Amino acid sequence: ALFARYRTAADFAAAPPGELEAYIKSTGFFRNKAKAIRGCCRALVEQHHGQVPATLAELVPLPGIGRKTANVVLGVAYRRAEGIVVDTHVSRLSQRLGLTKQKTAEKIEQDLMRITPPADWIDLSHLLIWHGRKRCNARQPDCIQCEIQNLCPQIGVNPCPRSKSATKPPRSLN
């Protein structure tokens, strides 16, 4: 319904705030998101002829757009990797796997970029997000079913039981 009502950046920019809020009310912080959507779309219309830019340098200055969102847009819309998406799942897993000791998204991203070939940045983001949602959640990681349990030092996790297959190589996540 949202994209049937608003088809272009200009449509979103001109949307009455209350109407847009009603469409996205089921999301968290819907008022802030509606304000950011309208502001971003106004900037897209005014500065980019209504088109979504294809570089991190052009995306990050847009209202409501940070490195994480910019990296998502570049990876999904353009299949371009200028960085690694670091959300709550990527942050948690990077620490549990011992890939970083950093706490801020930007520093975690820098650590991951140093150890991962650029050609793998987009896939790494998607795989870590999937793994964090489906297997290694914040409160009860499913270590027994974990595809990479034999590689995981379980940093910051209460000791999880390991299955007998933990000595076998992990199944491919592809």
| Positions marked active-site | 68, 87
The residue whose two tokens read 């219309």 is 45
Q: Are 9 and 41 in contact (CB under 8 A)?
A: yes
The amino acid at residue 19 is E
Q: Which residues contact 158 (CB under 8 A, 6 or more apart)?
A: none
Q: Are 42 and 49 in contact (CB under 8 A)?
A: no
**For the CA atoms of the chain, what is the radius of gyration?**
19
How many Cβ atoms sit within 10 Å of the Cβ of residue 60?
14
